[in-house]
Amino acid sequence: MSALLFRRVLVATESSPPTEADVLIEDGVIRGVEARGFAAGEVPAGARVIDGGGRRILSPAFFDPHVHLREPGKIAAETIQSGTEAAINGGITGVVAMPNTTPATDSGPMVKNVRDIAERTARIPVYVCGAITKGRQGEELAAIAAMKSAGAVMISDDGDPVDNPQVLRRAMEYARDFDVMLASHCETRALSGPGAINEGRHAYKLGLFGTPALSEELCLARDCRLAQFTGARLHIQHVTTVRGMRTIERYRNEGVRVSGEVAPHHLFFIDEDIGDYDTHYKMNPPLRTPEDRAGLLEGLKAGLFDCIATDHAPHTDFEKKREFVAAPNGITGLETAVVSLFHHFVRPGHFGWDLLVKRYSAEPRRLVGLPVPVIAAGQRAELVLFDPDVTTTFSRAFMKSKSQNTPFLNQTLHGAISMVVLGDSVLKEPPATPAG
């Protein structure tokens, strides 16, 4: 790509509503952003022109700090290549891969292995989260310093909590000393029991053991207190309850370095959406109540969450078609996140593009210490063209992930990712316009 001109697009930022401008890119660098447009002589000869018609959104590309790419290990469900192609399809140009691989990503060589696979097979950067404990077994600390030296940007035993508070305390002390953020999956397993759904009326109706909100909230409060004691940087993954959100707020107000994320599916769905044992809605932590869903959305709008993260968790059809209790937890999200957030929240006016850019592009990168892409002269091009006037149908043919375990399968939503640009590469092209 030599020169690319986006004409009459609405440029999105994290701090203000989109404003109309022309954006010129040459050799992967933004050469100018002009509200009044570029004169003919200012555009290089032969430049490719994309007309936004004063309607299409040009946004900084998105970033997901919590995904499961399954490789090495369960490559029937996902690989680094297929998962990152799914990310591109969803307007995402960077991800953080969780360590629940087989074997677990719990050492410097394992971190290097994941990075090497990504270097060979992915068209976008893949950042690695190392494990807190060896084998993610919660007993013996993993090689935290070695993993950081190999390039790990955080540590977590995601998928499982660290049950032993003394082990977690020591992990936080090491993480503090080596300046690594520790991310926590909050669950008190003695309270969760065999639960496969939120404890409540719908679990009772289906005859299933439920996981109470207390299971998450008690562990979350413990981990925040340990972070306060040790001085570590703590990130709480996939928060699902208002009480948990408020606990993070309280500790943050007391000076604790704690951040939190919310997943799109916990903003969209509730436990009753499971219906008659639909495993596409089975996840851990589980979908909660209408009151929690509404409170999480208000918390996101109020800035109580630092970022949005999908917890992209691919599984094969065979796995998800097992009976409800035996089916694995998790849904995919990389391809559906931006369009579904637009459809449910931006389009009806619950929040604007500025919040979406801040919480799903800028802040996730800041969380792991990465530069934040902005659409401004002199900046490397890392952007997405979004069309609000068309729809996306999440068919199997459309999706790039090897797994399609999502409630959005075969649904049609408003909005579409038309184009993805990273440096001097166009990673996703706008759909062809039919002749005539």
Q: Does residue 221 surpass a pLDDT of 50?
A: yes
Average of pLDDT values for 134-152?
98
CATH superfamily, region 62-367? Metal-dependent hydrolases (3.20.20.140)
pLDDT of residue 432: 63
CA distance 98 to 211: 23
pLDDT of residue 236: 98
Q: How far is CA 124 from CA 44, 62, 152, 416, 420, in A?
A: 28, 11, 16, 20, 11
Annotated catalytic, 311? Answer: yes
Residues 6+ positions from 344 with CB-CB distance below 8 Å: 267, 268, 350
Q: Are strands 234-236 and 29-34 parallel, antiparallel or unpaired?
A: unpaired
CATH superfamily, region 3-59+376-428? Urease, subunit C, domain 1 (2.30.40.10)
For the stretch 373-397, pLDDT in tens is 999 999 999 999 999 999 999 999 9
Q: Is the pTM of this model over 0.85?
A: yes
Name the nearest CA neighbour of 100 among 309, 317, 330, 320. Answer: 330
Among candidate residues 106, 157, 311, 387, the one labeled active-site is 311
CA distance 238 to 260: 8
pLDDT of residue 1: 63
Distance of CA 52 to the CA centre of its chain: 27
Q: How far is CA 176 from CA 119, 179, 230, 240, 320, in A?
A: 29, 5, 8, 26, 39
For the stretch 112-130, pLDDT in tens is 999 999 999 999 999 999 9
Q: Where are the domains of the chain?
A: 3-59+376-428, 62-367
Q: What is the residue whose two structure tokens read 């040459």?
A: 26
Q: What is the residue whose two structure tokens read 């494990």?
A: 131
Confidence of residue 433 (pLDDT cuts 50, 70, 90): low
Above pLDDT 70, what percent of the chain? Answer: 98
Is 3-59+376-428's fold the same as 62-367's? Answer: no
pLDDT of residue 98: 98
Average of pLDDT values for 349-362?
98
Q: How far is CA 164 from CA 138, 170, 284, 297, 419, in A?
A: 7, 10, 20, 32, 46
